[in-house]
Amino acid sequence: MMLNQLLAIVLLPLIASVIVGLCGQFLGRQWSHRLTIAAVAVATVLATSIAIGFYNGQLKPAEYVLYNWGQFGDLAKGGVKIEVGFLIDSLTSTMMAVVTFVSLMVHIYTIGYMKEDPGYQRFFSYISLFTFAMLTLVMSNNFLQLFFGWEAVGLVSYLLIGFWYKKPTAIFANLKAFLVNRVGDLGFLLGIAGVYYIFGSFNYLEVFEQVKQGFANVDIAVTDEVVWSGITFVCIGLFIGAMGKSAQVPLHVWLPDSMEGPTPISALIHAATMVTAGVFMVARMSPLFEQSEVALNFILMIGGTTALFMGFLGVIQNDIKRVVAYSTLSQLGYMVVALGASAYSIAIFHLATHAFFKALLFLAAGSVIIAMHHEQDIRKMGNLKKYLPITYITSLIGSLALIGTPFFSGYYSKEGIILAVNNSQLAAADYAYICVLIGVFFTALYSFRMFFLVFHTSERMDQHTRDHLKEPSAVVTVPLILLAIPSLVVAWFIADPIVSGRYFGDAIVVAASHDTVAPLIDLYQDWFSFAMHGLAPSPFYLAIAGIMVAWIFTVWKPEWRETLNSRIGFIGNILRNNYYFDKIYINYITAGGVGLGARFWKWIDAGLIDGIIVNGSAKTVAAISGQVRKIQSGYLYHYVFVMVIGLLAFLAWVYWRTLMN
């Protein structure tokens, strides 16, 4: 029964995607969205029922092998099998429920947002395929199937970011996402290769069992003098893959540009699918990462840097979707910091709460864009609470959850991360703690700067837009309401089992010396008391300070904002240019690669292969044949002369051989 449910969850979105993709023009718009929504809705119900089963303790972890589609060598002599299967536990079920629910909300929302788009059926086919790819990734029981889902998510994101393929900026953005992720995927492949080299298996449970038995301290000899720790090599390789998918510095540059895709896919990518894949993967591989403090320190450094410095960039953005995009980058940094602090359960907790309020914020931004006739500049908005009351209230809930306001879902997971990293004894923990603490202020600053400029302050839109402002249809507002509810209350129900460690159980492994979550258990009594605790520490007051600064510079004294902008020219240029990452990549790394490739083409392809080997040999044959051709004159006395010369040469050779003997 369970296996049938799992097959339905993963295959229904795929079947719907294929049918709509191939037959969408015959099905029409209504049946295209009905079919894909029905498939994802059934998957959501089934996935949620499984998650509830693990929450109640009624279900136990299980592995299902569907079939073996490949084998290397004799299994009895150390050969390896390639499987297709599922590993279902509390970690997997949580991801399944989050992915399917957010995807369902995005599917419904798309009916209203894309109603006039000529690619309507194609878009529904893509987002349903995206759901299938993410489910394949999270449900896999082995590294190769994980890699298949990993690449499938990347491929479909390429199609969706460049959905409006006649728009040059969209094509540039999807190519950028594709290439940056190839860099991360190289590290990911090396990590998987390292797993096979050390453990001789691709199956999760077989690898984890070997780690449990102590078989992890294998060295990799690079040269006679240089030896690397095998497990550190594996963990850093896998995490580089996560850096690409989860957009960590310096592989973050693709994520803001992914806003070139339609808003529904921005919500799906940023909230519950592609960018969370790296966080999930590291949590799934916790038995491996716990063996390498070098890798954990590296993760803390990268996560802390991303959390803080991407938050700085959110402050200066004026495109409503880009503000939310940089918010995603910063919050992913928080999740990665939790992973580095070995607080894997808290990282997944924040992943889940973030999925709800970030999807809410993106879809609310889309609601504003629809009402504003696709205007995205927050400087051209203002006082929209008067016209969009549902969008206003749901945006407020999402923003309060994002900044970690006590009693909102985002508070419980975000506060857990800050406390956990403060408990860590790793070398990089102090740096990461400072980053996430300061990040609280800037999260509140950029979130409420956008909120005040969009929904408060004076109206700055043109008269035509003002005359037609109204709340979008129910297919847009209902998903906002349904996402606002868990953004507010979901942590009330799941915080206790997650913080206590009862929920994830053996799905997550933490070494005793790295356990930063255990001290939280004594602090956390229930959801209400933990929220009251949040009124005392510094993060709460940093968030309040961020809101106050945003209010001062946008509502009370907006002229101060212009004065400040004029006085931070140098810093402003650095922020507006994204710390010059794009220029470095395009002008130096990419240009250098193109220049090197051009020289290789000129010297090796055109010069050596074509010029010498191919054309050179042809020219040599042509030259020789040109000379030989002169012998064929057609005159009989020429041929007799050659025959005589040849005969004399032969006789001379025979005579010489006779004398030598």
pLDDT digits (tens, 9 = 90+) for 454-480: 999 888 888 888 888 899 988 899 999
CB count within 10 Å of CB 345 equals: 29
Looking at the predicted structure, is the pLDDT value of residue 45 above 90? yes
In a domain, 51, yes or no: no
Looking at the predicted structure, is the pLDDT value of residue 77 above 70? no
CB contact set of 78 (below 8 Å; sequence gap of 6+): 200
Angle between helices 474-500 and 409-423 (to 10 degrees): 40
pLDDT digits (tens, 9 = 90+) for 578-602: 888 888 877 777 777 777 777 777 7
Using the 3D structure, point to which of 556, 573, 589 is the last residue of a domain.
556
CB count within 10 Å of CB 643 equals: 10
**69 band by pLDDT with thresholds 50, 70 and 90:** confident
Mean pLDDT of 362-368: 93
How far is the C-alpha of 447 from the C-alpha of 315, rounded, in Å? 8
User: How many structural domains are present in the chain?
Assistant: 2
Quickly count helices (H) and strands (E) in the chain: 28, 4
Q: Are residues 398 and 484 in the same domain?
A: yes
Residue with tokens 């959501």: 44
In a domain, 278, yes or no: no
Q: Are residues 355 and 484 in the same domain?
A: yes
Helix (H, G, I), strand (E, B) or coil at 140: strand
73/193: higher pLDDT: 193
User: What pTM does this model have?
Assistant: 0.88
Q: What is the pLDDT of residue 76?
A: 58
Q: Reduced to 3 DSSP states, what percent helix, strand and coil does the chain have, rounded to the nearest 5?
A: 75, 5, 20
Q: What is the pLDDT of residue 285?
A: 95
Q: Are residues 349 and 420 in the same domain?
A: yes
Using the 3D structure, point to which of 496, 526, 556 is the last residue of a domain.
556
Closest CA to 549 of 457, 441, 456, 455: 441
Closest CA to 59 of 47, 41, 42: 47
CB contact set of 645 (below 8 Å; sequence gap of 6+): none
Q: Are residues 341 and 488 in the same domain?
A: yes
Q: What is the pLDDT of residue 216?
A: 64
Q: Are residues 370 and 480 in the same domain?
A: yes
Tokens of 318: 């004026």
In a domain, 63, yes or no: no
Q: Are residues 645 and 507 in the same domain?
A: no
In a domain, 237, yes or no: no
In a domain, 107, yes or no: no
Q: Is-contact 397 359, C-beta < 8 A?
A: no
Q: Are residues 338 and 422 in the same domain?
A: yes
Q: Are residues 391 and 485 in the same domain?
A: yes
Give start and end residues of each alpha helix (H) in 75-203: 90-113, 120-139, 143-161, 168-199
Range among 439-453, 554-568, 617-631 rated most confident: 439-453
- Work out the percent of the chain whose per-residue pLDDT is above 70: 96
In a domain, 115, yes or no: no
**603 band by pLDDT with thresholds 50, 70 and 90:** confident
Q: Are residues 362 and 490 in the same domain?
A: yes
Q: Are residues 552 and 610 in the same domain?
A: no
Looking at the predicted structure, is the pLDDT value of residue 272 above 70? no
Q: What is the pLDDT of residue 78?
A: 60
pLDDT digits (tens, 9 = 90+) for 307-331: 999 999 999 898 999 999 999 999 9
Q: Are residues 456 and 361 in the same domain?
A: yes
Residues facing residue 377 across a β-bridge: 319
In a domain, 127, yes or no: no
In a domain, 211, yes or no: no
Q: Is-contact 240 228, C-beta < 8 A?
A: no
How far is the C-alpha of 194 from the C-alpha of 656, rounded, in Å? 68
Tokens of 661: 């003997």
Q: Is 456 exposed, middle or buried (0-12, 13-18, 19+ CB in 10 A)?
A: middle
Looking at the predicted structure, is the pLDDT value of residue 1 above 90? no
Q: What is the pLDDT of residue 24?
A: 85
| Residue 422 lies in domain | 320-556
Q: What is the pLDDT of residue 562?
A: 76
Q: Are residues 412 and 542 in the same domain?
A: yes
Q: What is the pLDDT of residue 601?
A: 75
